[in-house]
Amino acid sequence: METFERWESEIRGYCRAYPTVFATASNARQVDEAGKSYVDFFAGAGVLNFGHNDPKMKAAIIDYIQSDGVAHSLDMSTTAKRTFIERFAELVLKPRDMDYRMQFMGPTGTNAVEAALKLARKVTKRSNVIACSHGFHGMTIGALACTANEYFRGAAGIELGNVHRIPFENAPGGGVEQVNELRCAFADPSSGLEPIAAVMVEAIQAEGGVNVASKEYLHALQQLAHEQGALFIIDDIQAGCGRTGSYFSFDGMGLDPDIITLAKGIGGFGTPLAMNLNKPEHDKHWSPGEHTGTFRGQDLSFVAGTVALDYFADDTLMQAVAVKGAQIRERLETLCAEHGGKGWQVRGKGMMQALDVGDGALAKLVAKECFERGMLIGPCGSGGRVLKMIPPLTIPDSDLAEGLDIFATALAAALEATA
Ligand SMILES: Cc1ncc(COP(=O)(O)O)c(C=O)c1O
């Protein structure tokens, strides 16, 4: 660890929670250089939906490199990009009768959010956007203005503006009624409210504490946006790409977002890729290269991302997600019931499930106890009080069972230590 402590920036985060040096990884396992194996229930913060080093993706990347495939291409056309686009249209868009243009940008979620905000502002010629309490949308200034977390906002160094904040559905004061009241207020020409360019929301807030929005709530937000001539943006960067049991976290709800932001899992292998799906009538407002970026052509990610799309060619993986998600939930509910009276809550959908223990210090201790016993888990939510489980969707049953057992033991140890 000395090298990191001596030379790497103070900004280091996750390595402080997981104080070891990892050497290898395979599916839902990471092994450190001392040979200790960890079950990974964090999966690169939702990047590794298909596990570490998926053999088919690895083989496809190696083949591509060995055949001198183009690794970096700005946004030039490449065979790898064309194959990805065609496969995405075939397996994700067409079956849902969705007509969107795919926009690639710098390959991080925050860049996808910046692009979405910029497009909404261009289309509407307005500045303000509505974003929710507990929402997490990234760290660059435009996205950070929409992110709610006070710790991250505090590092901005400038005022974060042009966002009208509303409480998320399960936050105090939030819900369909609140959105309807806001709709009435906006309908009043003398409300004093600034017109909005967009309403942006995560259908399931991931970093914000695994808060699941109802269909009714999302429809109310969509209606608010459209009544105001604003764009409805769903940030599916963490909850999308199969995590919740179907490709999009909002599948089956009859929603019609103007922009969908995607990143994290879409590169398949863990190499970066970000993509927005823009309605064609909005997309035409872009001029060539207006939201440019050197790393828009992530060809290794296109290659692995195309292989990842095969997981959506039939419903085998999504059925497994339903089964494993139910197993995780059941175990968390049992633990919650065993510790009844503490006001804990289980929340989630598919294979994003969480236990809210209402106490950041306790959650941190549980995560530490998990780490010591060979399991990686990341706290999230207000004050870090929510223990979020997002293992790879491909986790073997035995690793899932082992991870859940470790979690139960770690929870008991943490409670005993704080009793
Ligand atoms: C919903 C959501 N949006 C945006 C982001 C930002 O993505 P990135 O960290 O790749 O910039 C994240 C990251 O956790 C996220 O969960």
Q: Is the CB of 45 under 6 A from ligand 1?
A: yes
CA of residue 109 to ligand 1 center, whole Å: 5
Q: Which domain holds residue 11?
A: 2-53+316-418
Regarding whether 73 and 15 lie in a shared domain, the answer is: no
Regarding whether 178 and 71 lie in a shared domain, the answer is: yes
CA of residue 275 to ligand 1 center, whole Å: 12
* Predicted pLDDT at 143: 98
Regarding whether 104 and 233 lie in a shared domain, the answer is: yes
CA of residue 66 to ligand 1 center, whole Å: 32
End-of-domain residue from the set 284, 312, 340:
312
* Predicted pLDDT at 340: 81
CA of residue 291 to ligand 1 center, whole Å: 18
Virtual CA dihedral for 289, 293, 298, 301, nearest 10 degrees? -110
Q: Is the CB of 238 under 6 A from ligand 1?
A: yes
Q: Is the CB of 115 under 6 A from ligand 1?
A: no
Regarding whether 328 and 406 lie in a shared domain, the answer is: yes
Q: Is the CB of 236 under 6 A from ligand 1?
A: no
Q: Is the CB of 113 under 6 A from ligand 1?
A: yes
Closest CA to 356 of 383, 386, 396, 314: 386
What Å distances lie between residue 317 and 252, 289, 350, 392, CA to CA?
Answer: 18, 37, 12, 11
**H or E, element range at 304:** helix 299-309
Regarding whether 346 and 302 lie in a shared domain, the answer is: no
Q: Is the CB of 205 under 6 A from ligand 1?
A: no
Regarding whether 370 and 306 lie in a shared domain, the answer is: no
End-of-domain residue from the set 291, 312, 333:
312
pTM of the model: 0.98
Q: Would you write out the chain's pLDDT as a tens digit for each of its 419 residues?
A: 899 999 999 999 999 999 999 999 999 999 999 999 999 999 999 999 999 999 999 999 999 999 999 999 999 999 999 999 999 999 999 999 999 999 999 999 999 999 999 999 999 999 999 999 999 999 999 999 999 999 999 999 999 999 999 999 999 999 999 999 999 999 998 999 999 999 999 999 999 999 999 999 999 999 999 999 999 999 999 999 999 999 999 999 999 999 999 999 999 999 999 999 999 999 999 999 999 999 997 999 999 999 999 999 999 999 999 999 999 999 999 999 998 889 999 999 999 999 999 999 999 999 999 999 999 999 999 999 999 999 999 999 999 999 999 999 999 999 999 98
End-of-domain residue from the set 276, 294, 312:
312
Regarding whether 393 and 303 lie in a shared domain, the answer is: no
Q: Is the CB of 211 under 6 A from ligand 1?
A: no
User: Which one of 136, 144, 233, 259 would you pick to mutate in the ligand 1 pocket, going by the greatest count of ligand atoms within 8 A of its CB?
Assistant: 136
CA of residue 25 to ligand 1 center, whole Å: 23
CA of residue 43 to ligand 1 center, whole Å: 14
For residue 239, which atom of ligand 1 is closest to its CA?
Answer: 1
Please tell me the number of Cα atoms within 13 Å of 177 on its side-chain side: 5
Regarding whether 102 and 44 lie in a shared domain, the answer is: no
Structure tokens belonging to residue 37: 């194996």
* Predicted pLDDT at 274: 98
Q: Is the CB of 110 under 6 A from ligand 1?
A: yes
* Predicted pLDDT at 297: 78
User: Which one of 47, 204, 205, 207 would you pick to mutate in the ligand 1 pocket, going by the greatest count of ligand atoms within 8 A of its CB?
Assistant: 207
* CA distance linking residue 191 with residue 348, whole number of Å: 36
Specify the CATH number for the domain of residue 394. 3.90.1150.10
Residue nearest to atom 3 of ligand 1 (CA): 137
Regarding whether 322 and 289 lie in a shared domain, the answer is: no
Regarding whether 100 and 182 lie in a shared domain, the answer is: yes
First-to-last C-alpha distance (Å) of the chain? 32
For residue 139, which atom of ligand 1 is closest to its CA?
Answer: 11
Burial class (CB in 10 A: 0-12, 13-18, 19+), 278: buried
Regarding whether 77 and 187 lie in a shared domain, the answer is: yes
Regarding whether 139 and 36 lie in a shared domain, the answer is: no
Q: Is the CB of 30 under 6 A from ligand 1?
A: no
Q: Is the CB of 207 under 6 A from ligand 1?
A: yes
What Å distances lie between residue 2 and 20, 21, 74, CA to CA?
Answer: 11, 11, 37
CA of residue 254 to ligand 1 center, whole Å: 24
The C-alpha angle 399, 400, 405, rounded to 5 degrees, equals 95
CA of residue 339 to ligand 1 center, whole Å: 32
CA of residue 110 to ligand 1 center, whole Å: 6
Please give the tally of structural domains in the chain.
2
Q: Is the CB of 114 under 6 A from ligand 1?
A: no
